Structure 1
Amino acid sequence: MKIRIEWTYTTPRGAETFFRSDEMPVAQALLMAEDIQKTGRVKHLDFIDQYDSSWMMKELKSYLKSIETEPHNVRVFFDGGFDIQTKMSGMGCVIYYEQNGKFYRLRSNAPSEHLISNNEAEYAALNMCLQELDILGVHHIPVTFIGDSQVVINQLSGEWSVIEPSLSGWADRIEAKMKKLGIDPTYELIPRKENTEADRLATQALNGIEILANSELL
C-alpha cells in the first residue's frame, strides 16, 4: 500500500499553508510524519491511501504490524518462451518477498503444449505467477510485476489495447484473478538482459527441467 501525507503547517505568527507529499510506502510515511510533527507546527496531519481513504497514525502502525507475518513487498519476474519447431512453451516465474523480517525467493517453471505464440506464453507465465502468489497467501496488497514482454506489460497496464482473441482471454483471466486475490498491480517493463532468472527458468522448462524452490535469502 502507498500513502501520501497531507498536513497544515502553521508559522510562529499564525500564518498557515498546506502541504501534500508524494505517495510512499507506509513505513516511510510514518517516519516522515513523525519527523514533521517534531517541528511542533503541524495543525492537521492526514494519511491518504491510493484509494483516497484516510488513515490515522495508530491504524497505519497496526497495519504494518499485521502484515509482518504475511508475505509483503512482493516483486514478481515472469517470462515465457515458445519453440516454433516443437510447438512447446516454457514459463518461468521468480517471486521476491518479505515475511517475518526475512527475505525469500521463490522460483517456479512449467512447460505447456497448448499455446500458439510467444506472446501467449508470456501471458501464461504471468498467470502461473498468480497461482504461486495465491499459494503463498499474497492477498490484498500491492504487487509489482516485472517482465520484458512489451505486449503483456503495455496491454495489462492499459497502454495498449488487447486485439488478439487468444490474448484477450488471458488478459481477462489474469485481471479476474487479481481482483479475486485483492492484488493492486504495478507493471514494470525491463530489458531482456535484466530478466535472466525468469528467462532461464522458461528455457529449462522447454528442455524438460521443472523447478519449484522457495528459499531464504541470506
Structure 2
Amino acid sequence: MNYQIHWLYKPKRGKDALLQTEFMPLDEALQLAADFEKTGRVKELSFYDEMGTHWTRKEAEKLGKKAEEEPQRIVLCFDGGFDLQLKRAGIGVCMYYEKNGNTYRVRRNSQFHDLDNNNEAEYAALLYGMQLLEEAGVQYQTVTLRGDSQVVLNQLSGEWPCYEEGLARFLDRIEEKAKRLKILFQYDLVSRKQNKEAHNLATQALQGIAIDSHAPVEQQEE
C-alpha cells in the first residue's frame, strides 16, 4: 500500500497552504515527513492511503513499525481445475512474501465437490487464497494476484462484467474480504506454463494428494 502526505504549510506571512505529495511507500513517506518537519513550516501533517483512509503522523509511524513484522511484497498465485466427469474440482494456491529479510512460500490445495465448472473452480481457488492472506495477518497491503484465468482477473478488476450468478457470489465474497482486510489488488495475468506451481497443486488435489507447507523458499522441496 502506498501513502500520500497532506502538508498544511505555515508561511511566515499570509494564509496557510495545503500541499500534497505523490503516493509512495510508507517508509519513504515517513522519511519525507521528517524532512518537512525540519523546515519549521508544518502546521499539520496527515497521511492518506490508496483507499482513502486517514492517518495522523503518530498513527502512520505506529503502522510502519507494525508493518516491519508483517508479510510484505505479497504475490498470490492461484489455479483451479475441474473434472467434468466426476463433477469435482481441485484448487491450488501459492503465496510468496518477504519478512525480516527472508522470502517465504506457502503452498496449499484442496478438493471441492459442489462446483459446476472450471470458472467456479478458479474463483474458489482465489477465495481459498484470500484465507491464506487472512491467516497471515495481511492488512493495509497491495497484493499481486497471479493466475491464468482471464475471466477471474478481468471480472475482479472491473474490465469485464460478471453476469453468472454463481461467479458473482464468489466475486462478492472476495471483494468483501479484501475490503475488510484493507487490501488492494494488482493483477498479473500469466500463461498456464507461467502458473505451473499453482496448476500442479490443483492437479494434485484432484488426484487426492494434499499439500500444506509453509517455510523459507530455500528450505522447501518441489
Above 0.5 in TM-score?
A: yes
Q: Is the CA contact 2:144–2:188 (under 8 Å) kept in the aligned structure 1? A: no
Counterpart of 2:210, as a letter, is E
Q: Is the CA contact 2:69–2:100 (under 8 Å) kept in the aligned structure 1? A: yes
> Partners of 1:160 and 1:76 in 2: how far apart?
21
Q: Which position in structure 2 is the counterpart of 1:13?
A: none
Alignment of 1:10-29 (within 5 A): 20-29=20-29
Moved more, 200-209 or 139-148: 139-148
Aligned length, in residue pairs = 216
- 1:125-176 Cα shifts (integer Å, max 9, x gaps): 0111122223223345443322221111121222222111221121222223
Counterpart of 2:184, as a letter, is P
How far apart are residue 122 of structure 1 and its match? 0.3
> Partners of 1:57 and 1:143 in 2: how far apart?
24
Q: Which position in structure 2 is the counterpart of 1:128?
A: 128
Query: Is residue 190 of structure 2 the alignment partner of residue 191 of structure 1?
Result: yes
How far apart are residue 121 of structure 1 and its match? 0.5
Moved more, 170-179 or 147-156: 170-179
Q: Which position in structure 2 is the counterpart of 1:60?
A: 60
Q: Which position in structure 1 is the counterpart of 2:148?
A: 148
Q: Which position in structure 1 is the counterpart of 2:216?
A: 216
Unaligned runs of 5+ in 2: 11-16
> Partners of 1:46 and 1:177 in 2: how far apart?
27
Change (3 A) 1:115 1:28: same
How far apart are residue 206 of structure 1 and its match? 2.0
Change (3 A) 1:41 1:135: closer
Q: Which position in structure 2 is the counterpart of 1:69?
A: 69
Q: CA RMSD in A?
A: 3.2
- 1:156-199 Cα shifts (integer Å, max 9, x gaps): 222222111221121222223334x4232314032223322211
Change (3 A) 1:123 1:34: same
Moved more, 198-207 or 19-28: 19-28
How far apart are residue 42 of structure 1 and its match? 6.7
Q: Is the CA contact 1:143–1:183 (under 8 Å) kept in the aligned structure 2? A: no
How far apart are residue 61 of structure 1 and its match? 2.4
Aligned to 1:47, the other structure's residue is in SS state strand
Change (3 A) 1:106 1:48: same
Aligned to 2:70, the other structure's residue is in SS state coil
Change (3 A) 1:82 1:60: same
Counterpart of 1:197, as a letter, is E
> Partners of 1:98 and 1:122 in 2: how far apart?
25
Moved more, 98-107 or 110-119: 98-107
Q: Which position in structure 2 is the counterpart of 1:113?
A: 113
Q: Which position in structure 2 is the counterpart of 1:205?
A: 205
Change (3 A) 1:196 1:22: farther
Unaligned runs of 5+ in 1: 11-16
Counterpart of 2:187, as a letter, is E
Moved more, 165-174 or 50-59: 50-59
Identity rate, percent: 43
How far apart are residue 46 of structure 1 and its match? 4.8
Alignment of 1:31-70 (within 5 A): 31-34=31-34, 46-70=46-70
Q: Is the CA contact 2:142–2:186 (under 8 Å) kept in the aligned structure 1? A: no
Counterpart of 2:99, as a letter, is Q
> Partners of 1:142 and 1:132 in 2: how far apart?
15
> Partners of 1:212 and 1:100 in 2: how far apart?
22
Change (3 A) 1:61 1:151: same
> Partners of 1:55 and 1:176 in 2: how far apart?
22
